[in-house]
Amino acid sequence: MSMIPEHRKGLIYISFTAFLWSTSGFFIKYLTINAFQISFFRSLIAALTVYAITLIRRQHLKFEFDKVSNLAAVFYAGILILFVIATKMTTAANAIFLQFTAPVYLVVLEPLVLKTKFEPKNVITILICIGGMILFFFGKLELGNIYGNLLAICSGICFAMFSLLLKYKKVKHRSENTLYFVITGNTLVAVIAFFIIFPDFTLDVTQSLILLYMGAIQIGVSYIIFNEGIKYVSATESMIIATLEAMFNPIWVFIGIGETPSVYSIIGGAIIFGAIIWRNFSKREKTLIIE
């Protein structure tokens, strides 16, 4: 990797991260335990993994508990737990497509919170994405699917708020310390899920191995790789590359258990991603390298 140009290295890191993230849908569907059991073990293992790796690498890990940091940890926890519940209740495609509506909320929230310029094309993007989101509720839907879709939208809102607060910390507080969010957010999920599932902590060997992968690799290691990659690419590039997760997630689920998204979901997802990519590609950003 040392021989690869830094920008290309960043693209490789984030692409690989998106690939690891995309495997979550299949394993959440495959596991027969409930969403809170998955959330407890996955997040507990993820928090311990990230903390252990930072100690091994002798990285400085500063925990911050100001208002912004606490809210960021809460929203990160919301992303994790709401996505797992949504994936259990609706199709994996619906859950991941609706979670990736996060950029839609950001184009409204960022100008309000960070006082950035609100661009007219953002209004077009929002309207197109809302149209795409409506399609997810077309056709024959069971009540559980509807609730799952709504929870996936809430997960997207949490994703947007988490991203916004990270950027706020960077702009207002000049902070590049982000790994502790993963530890505190996952710890919060584990604590909440612990009291819900207590005392049912029984797992078989297969379930244990899957949860070990999901916690240690799919969340823990992947975020550390993402944290390295984001140093060499722009925010826009990272957002576009991250959509690979939403593309691969339903494919793994289809291959693994044969779950097929509805035609309306596929069309809605294509509309949302098309609008987001159009919006991001229409504005060039200089690559930011953070030392």
Q: How far apart are CA 173 and CA 156, in angstroms?
A: 25
pLDDT bracket for residue 109 (50, 70, 90): confident
- Which is higher by pLDDT, 138 or 11? 11
> pLDDT at residue 291 above 60?
no
Please list, in sequence order, all residues whose beta carbon lies within 8 angstroms of the beta carbon of residue 216, skipping any fewer than 6 positions away: 45, 46, 49
pLDDT averaged over the chain? Answer: 83
Give one DSSP letter per residue of 163-185, joined into a string.
Answer: HHHHHHHHHHS-----HHHHHHH
Predicted local distance difference test score (pLDDT) of residue 283: 53
* 202-231 pLDDT, tens digit each: 999 999 999 999 999 999 999 888 878 877
DSSP state of 283: S
* 151-177 pLDDT, tens digit each: 999 999 998 888 888 778 776 666 666
The two tokens of residue 243 are 């959509």
- Which is higher by pLDDT, 286 or 151? 151
Closest CA to 90 of 21, 30, 136, 53: 136
* 27-76 pLDDT, tens digit each: 999 999 999 999 999 999 999 999 999 999 888 777 888 888 889 899 99
Question: 3-state DSSP call for residue 1?
Answer: coil
Q: Are 185 and 77 in contact (CB under 8 A)?
A: yes
Predicted local distance difference test score (pLDDT) of residue 63: 82
> pLDDT at residue 19 above 80?
yes
Predicted local distance difference test score (pLDDT) of residue 211: 97
Claim: this prediction has a pTM higher than 0.85: no
C-alpha 101 chain-centroid distance: 11
> pLDDT at residue 91 above 80?
yes
Instruction: Give the start-to-end residue ranges of the domains of the chain.
Output: 6-281
State the average pLDDT over residues 189-199.
Answer: 94
Predicted local distance difference test score (pLDDT) of residue 104: 77
Predicted local distance difference test score (pLDDT) of residue 273: 77
Q: How far apart are CA 75 and CA 65, in angstroms?
A: 14
C-alpha 14 chain-centroid distance: 13
